[in-house]
Structure 1
Amino acid sequence: MSGFGAPTPTAHPPIHALALWADGQKVATLAHEPLNDRWSLDYEAAWVARPGAFALSPALPFQPPAAGYAVGAVKRFVENLLPEGRALDITASTIHVSKSNIYALISALGAETTGAFRFWRVDQTPPAVVSTPPREVTRGELDKRLAERDQMPLAVWDGKVRMSIAGVQDKLMVYLDRPLDEGGRLFLVEPPLASTHILKPEPGRELTPHLVVNEHYCMTLARHMKLPVADVAIYRTPRPVLLVRRFDRIASQGDAGPVVQRLHVIDACQASDLPVTYKYERNLGNGEHVRHVRDGVSFEVLFDRVEQTVNKAAARMTLLRWALFQFLIGNSDAHGKNFSFFVHREGLEPAPWYDLVSVVQYPSIDHELAMAWGDAFTLEEVTAFALADFAQRCGVDRQLLKREARRMAKLAGEHAPQLAQAADYIDEAERAFTRQLRDFIVGQAARLTQLADAAAKIKGEYL
């Protein structure tokens, strides 16, 4: 007689480990027990004692609580470093692992993620000098690769996945040896050299025409308004590609060649100890039976991060301006992974802004807001009461809201028209699109002024 007995338990489940390195020093050991999906993190005493050393995130401090880090906190931090959507599918298929295998993915991509840390084999030390010259990407080769994206994903070069930063959109990380207007050249990098710029080409779909121009316009508008934003330029192959300078990298020239210092940044999901699936406030979607669930990153959750910052007054003002700017440009997709913080030993500091896009220009895309103003999940639904509700939830004085809204609306109204005529936009189709952006933003500026004025007059007991 035969039958199925209980499987024999493994006496000692296998444990895999990676070392984390920053500034040429080992920082911590990351361990993973795959069978039970258990993660652990142990900092090096020498790193903790180093002046200016920093933890991975507020949820993973040098000294863990008596009961250990929160369940899943290490995994959540790591998962937020990985690409999403098609980029994740490409990565997983290229290295032949399941896209749910977070450890395998960070093992493959961890040498060049966002922030300061490199994930490295525990039995090796990251190289201190470049063993091979950086591999140049010429304008012609990039154009050819863009034309062949359906056959060969842009993330894969020379048989290796080069997409190792979070996000859904196609990106390529490169080192730029000098400014474009000085004849700068693009290179793929290997450790210890790090990338300095991100290339974001026009998506290969008709739903979002002129997306490169859209983001360049919105980012440049923020720059003209004296807001903290990453530097951008349009690189043409001749296909338009947005070139974004990484604010978590500082390039310099050393005795042995170029040197790139890596700065540590985390996004709002990591700062809030939330998984990537919580990047939208309605983390379960907007179906009728789940739309009341709002456990993801909201404006309120984002403003709660102020308590983790070094300069709370400055951080609160930065977050308020960021929120108002999203309203002005119509960025309905401003979610929890679209705001980041520098990490210092003393606390967090808001990083420059990025991914500023007027999503409402594309009628075929859902325009539900990633974060609601009060209870308003569309721009059309935002009222004076919704603005006042937002201020109440986020601890923002409504007179301050009024002053900042009026100031930013005035600046947007001044700069948006002249920017629409910039020489960066080279043909009539692009200029027509920037005029469309201009008209929308000028209209939003007038509307924001009216709403903020009215919001300041609402009695507190009504909120």
Structure 2
Amino acid sequence: MSGIGIPTVVAHYALNLWAEGQKVATLGHVPMHDQWSLDYDAAWVAKPGAFPLSPALPFQPPAAGYAVGAVKRFVENLLPEGRALDITASTFHVSKANVYALISALGAETTGAFRFWPVDQDPPAVATTPPREVTREELDQRLAERDQMPLAVWDGKVRMSIAGVQDKLMVYLDLPLDDGGRLFLVEPPLASTHILKPEPGRELTPYLVVNEHYCMTLARRMKLPVADVAIYRTPRPVLLVRRFDRIASHGVAGPVVQRLHIIDACQASDLPATYKYERNLGSGEHVRHIRDGVSFEVLFDRVEQTVNKAAARMTLLRWALFQFLIGNSDAHGKNFSFFVHREGLEPAPWYDLVSVVQYPGIDHELAMAWGDAFSLQEVTAFALADFAQRCGVDRQLLKREARRMAKLATEHAPQQAQADDYIDEAERAFAARVGDFIVGQAARLTELADDAAKIKSEFL
């Protein structure tokens, strides 16, 4: 029996993007065909100081339109990964692959400046409820119950809406901790100012809070651009990270938090989150030669998108050398970010600095290879020279910076291990072990960089 053809109604969804109290653009989605669109608001484009979402999504799209998938890639890079993504999808009864549904649920408080909001509503200008305080005692209880109740869920609502695998909680801190600061969960228009990163609670990565605090604070001591961190104890250790994409102040009606726009290197490179590792298909025998993800070379290519190219190149070089010094094999494409201005990009402060090599139960393959070396042990003078060649870095500059940073690390690493932040013998012993490793890496880096500068260019 043949029937009369009935036209299929294809659903079309839309969200508005808001920043600085103004509509920025409309995000469109046709789920049946997985088609995405972005249309900037003319008033936003005309505003002095206005900025696009990313270099891949400029105010004026090419004649043929944005690259296929560019809008979706930008959005999916805002979403959490791992268990946090599982929790979000389960809570909202949507598929983990349904990017539009997830950003609809989480888009009010993502990384960067933009809020994703229903097209028939405007974001509130005044909070409808006061911020919800999280006391030290309640946080401690929630940390104890993480296996039964995920940390991302509070009062029946998912509070995790930033990229990453590790458990995190976004909060507003009303005063510095030393001045009796209190933690609050927030609702629009108020935004979070800090991120809480508790100890994972797994045997594979003991003292991770101390590890990250040590590496981040060492970078600060070395005068490197890094996010501010502190250890908050419930008494369980929790890393408190000040968000550099937020500026807090106090207005007449109460606290005000300005949201600054940042993107990570995957977004800056117009790559999906699955490309955050250089070996984007993994290191299996039949795919290990495929290196289409974010590499040092891809990262340094972003220099051409920056406002101050010389400063950006130097920042990236120092970031790469610091990862070598601390043994951070997991420094991937979502662990470096840029501020977005109308004129171009600007490197943001560093974050997620961890000495991963302290954990023998974790794979230590490098997220980005030095030349063709995917392990720290395999890095040779030739690999450093190859890195410099691919990234457009003068090898004499590499030598000078390596020597300077190695000297600073050798001076400050032992001192940081004695910091009062580490309260017992076990924490101080772990910090001392990280420091000893860094001092050894500093000596090795100095020797390798010296030899790399001597290699003839025709051999590269």
TM-score by length of 1: 0.98
Deviations 1:101-144 (A, max 9, x none): 00000000000000000000000000011111100000000000
> Which residue of structure 2 aligns with residue 327 of structure 1?
324
- The one-letter code sitting in structure 1 at the alignment partner of 2:316 is L
Q: CA deviation at 1:12?
A: 3.9
Counterpart CA distance in 2 for 1:6 and 1:297 is 52
Q: Is residue 2:179 matched to residue 1:182?
A: yes
Give the Cα separation in 1 of the matches to 2:3 and 2:160. Answer: 43
Encode CA deviations 1:47-105: one digit per residue, 9 max, x unaligned.
00000000000000000000000000000000000000111001000111000000000
> Secondary structure of 2:361's partner?
coil
Counterpart of 2:127 (choices 118, 130, 152) is 130
Quick one: distance in 2 between partners of 1:439 and 1:324? 17
Determine if the alignment matches structure 1 residue 341 to structure 2 residue 375.
Answer: no
Q: Which amino acid aligns with 1:264?
A: H
Displacement of 1:172 in angstroms is 0.0
Q: Which of 372, 375, 399 lines up with 2:372 in the alignment?
A: 375
After superposition, the C-alpha distances for 1:407-452 in whole angstroms (9 at most, x for unaligned) are 0000000000011010000011101100100110000000000000
SS at 2:151 equivalent = coil
Letter in 2 for 1:373: W
Go from structure 1 to structure 2 and tell me whether the alpha carbon gap of 1:307 and 1:7 turns closer, same or farther (over 3 Å shift): farther
Offset, 1:10 = 4.5
* Map of 1:268 onto structure 2: 265
- Residue 444 (1) aligns with residue 421 (2): no
Note the C-alpha offset of 1:8: 5.4
Distance in 2 (CA, whole Å) between partners of 1:312 and 1:121 is: 38
Alpha carbons of structure 1 residues 382 and 136: separation in structure 2 relative to 1, 3 Å: same
Deviation string 1:371-415 (CA, Å, 9 cap, x unpaired) is 000000000000000000000000000000000000000000000
* CA distance in structure 2 between the aligned counterparts of 1:253 and 1:79, rounded to whole angstroms: 33
Residue equivalent to 1:356: 353
Q: Which amino acid aligns with 2:107?
A: G
Q: 1:264 to 1:8 in 2, by over 3 A?
A: farther
User: Equivalents in 2 of 1:48, 1:354: separation in Å?
Assistant: 31
Aligned amino acid, residue 88 of structure 1: L
Which residue number corresponds to residue 209 of structure 1? 206
Q: 1:108 is matched with which residue?
A: 105
Q: Equivalents in 2 of 1:91, 1:233: separation in Å?
A: 28
- Structure 1 residue 16 corresponds to structure 2 residue 10: no
What does 1:23-422 correspond to in 2, within 5 Å?
23-422=20-419
Once the 2 structures are TM-superposed, how far is the Cα of residue 11 of structure 1 from its aligned partner?
3.9
Q: Distance in 1 between matches of 2:393 and 2:4?
A: 58
Partner-residue secondary structure (3-state), 2:307: coil
What is the alpha-carbon distance in structure 1 between the residues aligned to residue 113 and residue 290 of structure 2? 34
2:126 & 2:459 partners in 1: Cα distance? 63
Q: Supply the AA of the counterpart residue of 1:106.
A: I
Q: Distance in 2 between matches of 1:129 and 1:88?
A: 30
What residue identity is the alignment partner of 1:152? M
Residue 6 of structure 1: CA displacement?
10
1:424 corresponds to: 421
Distance 2:255 2:368 in 1: 41
Counterpart Cα distance in 2 of 1:368 and 1:273: 24
Runs of 4+ in 1 over 6 A off after TM superposition: none
CA distance in structure 2 between the partners assigned to 1:40 and 1:179 by the alignment:
42
> Secondary structure at 2:357's aligned position in 1?
helix
Post-superposition offset of 1:204:
2.0
SS in 2 for 1:29: strand
Match in the other structure for 1:456: 453
Normalized against structure 2, the TM-score is what? 0.99
SS at structure 2 position matched to 1:337: coil
What residue identity is the alignment partner of 1:82? L
CA drift of 1:330 comes to 0.1
Amino acid at match of 1:44: D
Specify the SS of the correspondent of 1:18. strand
Mapped to 2, the partners of 1:438 and 1:129 lie a distance apart of 48
Matched to 1:96, the amino acid is: H
| Ranges in structure 1 where 5+ consecutive residues have no aligned partner | none
The separation in 1 between residues aligned to 2:39 and 2:433, in whole angstroms, is 52
Partner Cα separation in structure 1 for residue 159 and residue 203 of structure 2: 25
- Where does the alignment leave 5 or more consecutive residues of structure 2 unmatched? none
Q: How many residue pairs end up in the alignment? A: 460
**Secondary structure at 1:417's aligned position in 2?**
helix
Distance in 1, matches of 2:289 and 2:402, equals 29
**C-alpha separation in 2, matches of 1:338 and 1:419:** 23
Name the amino acid aligned to 2:176. P
Q: Deviations over 1:273-319 (max 9, x none)?
A: 00000000000000000000000000000000000000000000000
2:239 is paired with a residue of what secondary structure? Answer: strand
Task: Kindly provide the amino acid, as one letter, of the partner of residue 205 in structure 2.
Answer: T
Q: Distance in 2 between matches of 1:19 and 1:309?
A: 27
CA–CA distance in structure 1, aligned partners of residues 139 and 68 of structure 2: 43
C-alpha spacing 1:420/1:125, structure 2 compared with 1 (3 Å): same
Report sequence identity in percent.
88
